[in-house]
Amino acid sequence: MARLLIRNASVVLPGDGFRSNSGEVRAANVLIDDGKILDVDASASASCDEVVEADGLHLLPGVVDDQVHFREPGLTQKEDLAMASHACAAGGVTTFLEMPNTKPPAITVEGVRAKECLAAAKSLVNYGFYIGATPDNVKELTEVTDVPGIKIFIGSSTGNLLVDEQAALERIFAETTLPICAHCEDETTVRANAERIGQTSDLADHSRIRDERAAMIATERATELARRHQHRFHVLHVSTAAELKFLRDPSPYLTAEVCPHHLLFNVDDYERLGSRVQMNPSIKTAADNAGLWQALADDVIQVIATDHAPHTLEEKNQPYPQSPSGLPAVENSLALMLDQAHAGRITLPQIAHWMSDAPARVWGITGKGRIAAGYDADLVLVDASQRRTIRDQDQHTKSRWSPWDGETLTGWPVRTWVGGRQVWSAETGFDEAARGTKPHFDHTRGGYWSTANGIGV
C-alpha cells in the first residue's frame, strides 16, 4: 500500500475523552503507511508515494455510525449493503454497525456470520453487525464474542425480536456479557395510546401514539436493569428531554446517543414534510430539540448516530398509518453537523468526539475514532466552507431520497479514506474495487468510561 502524506490540513485532534469539546484543531501533516497513521506531525517533506495538499481543509477521523439498517438480506428493495456503503463513503462514514432486524433476522451466530460475508464482498467501508435478542436465544447471545453487541427491541418490532417481558429482559441482562443496546419505547403504552386515539390518518398522531411517556417508561426500565445487573448498556436514539433524567446520574454502565432527526426535526415539521419525518421513536417538540442539544453539550449524551432506516418513496407515500417509519441519513449526517458548526452551535472537536471517538469506545472498536499515531487511517477531509444543496436525485442510498431535500448546508466531505485507501472523492467518485473490513471488537477494554485516552490499537 502506498505511503500517503496529507499536507497542511487543519487536523481535528482528540482531547480529554470525557469532555466533547476538549480537542483541538491545528495545522499538521499526517503521514499514513500500510493503512495506519504513522505520524500526525510529519515533516512537510517526509518520504511518501503520494501527497494530498489540504490547505484550507479540515481532516477528521472517519465517522463511526453505530446504528444503521441496511436491509440486506430480505428487504433489498429499500437498501442494500453495496449502495449503502457508497452513501457512507460519500458522507465520511468509514465504519457502520448494522442492526439485526433483517429477513431473516440476525439472531444466531450463523446469521451474523452470513451478513459479515455479504459485507466483505460488497462494502466499500468497514462493517459490524449486532446480534438480536429474542425471548429465548440467550444461549446464542452468550456464544458470540466478536460483534459490537446485543440489540434488544423493547417495543417497535415484529415477531420474536420484540422483547418486552420482564423475565426475558432479566435473563438477557443477567446471563450475557456483551454490551447491550435497545430501542426504548414501551409497547404497552404505545398500544394503549393507539387504542385511545383510534383510527386516524393524521401523521401528527404518530407522535401522540409514540409519546414521551412511552419513551420514558422503557428507558427507565432498561437503565434500571443495567445499573442493577452492572451490565454495559447504550440507550439508542434518545428522543425526549424527559429521558435525560435517567442518564444525568453518571454510571460506568450507561451511555446514550441521539440522531440528527431528533435534534433537527420536531412535530411542527409534519405539515411540511409528512411521512418523510415519520420515525420510531417519533419526533417530539422544539423543547425536546433544545434539551437534546444541551445534553450533548453537557456530555450527558455521548454519541450521534443516524438510525439510517430507508424505505422506498412509494412505501413512504402511503397514507398514515400504512406509511412505514424510518428515513435515510448516512450520507448527510456529517454535513448536517458541519453546518451546525458553521452556524456556531457546536465545534469540530465535538463532532469528532460524538461521531467518531465516542462510538468506537462504546463498542470497543480498536484503532478507530481518532487521528493519532498507530490508529487506522480511516479519515475524512472536509471543506468547512463549501455550500451544497441536498437533492433527492443526488443521493447514493438506494431509496434515493432525503428528508433534508432542498436544504443548503455549509461544510461537506470532499475525500474519504478507509484503511489508508481513498474510497471516494468529490472529484473522482468511488473506488469500486475497494472493500472495507470487519474491525476488532475488544470488550475487555471496558467501553466508553474506561477509555478516556481513546480505545487504543
Judge contact between 181 and 68, C-beta under 8 A: no
User: 314: which residues sit within 8 A by CB, 6+ positions away?
Assistant: none
* Residue showing cell 471488537: 441
Question: Could you tell me whether strands 93-98 and 421-425 are parallel, antiparallel, or unpaired per DSSP bridges?
Answer: unpaired
Q: What are phi and psi of 198, to 5 degrees?
A: 80, -170
Q: Write out the DSSP string of 76-105.
A: TTT--HHHHHHHHHHHTEEEEEE-S-SSS-
* Residue showing cell 422503557: 218
User: 35: which residues sit within 8 A by CB, 6+ positions away?
Assistant: 1, 376, 377, 419, 420, 421
Q: How far apart are CA 105 and CA 251, in angstroms?
A: 31
User: 167: which residues sit within 8 A by CB, 6+ positions away?
Assistant: none
Amino acid, single-letter form, for residue 306: T
Q: What are phi and psi of 296, to 5 degrees?
A: -65, -50
Q: How many Cβ atoms from other residues are within 10 Å of residue 229's Cβ?
A: 18
Task: Work out the angle between the directed axes of helices 333-342 and 81-91 (0-180°, nearest 10).
Answer: 20
User: 344: which residues sit within 8 A by CB, 6+ positions away?
Assistant: none
HEC per residue, 182-218: EEECCHHHHHHHHHHHCCCCCCCHHHHHCCHHHHHHH
- In the chain, count of helices (H) and strands (E)? 14, 18
Catalytic residue among 66, 186, 307, 383: 307
| Core vs surface per residue 167-203: b (16+ CB within 10 A) or e | ebbebbbeebebbbbbbbbbbebbeebbeeeeeeeeb
Residue 239: all three cell numbers together: 428522543
Q: Is 307 a catalytic residue?
A: yes
Q: Catalytic positions, please?
A: 307
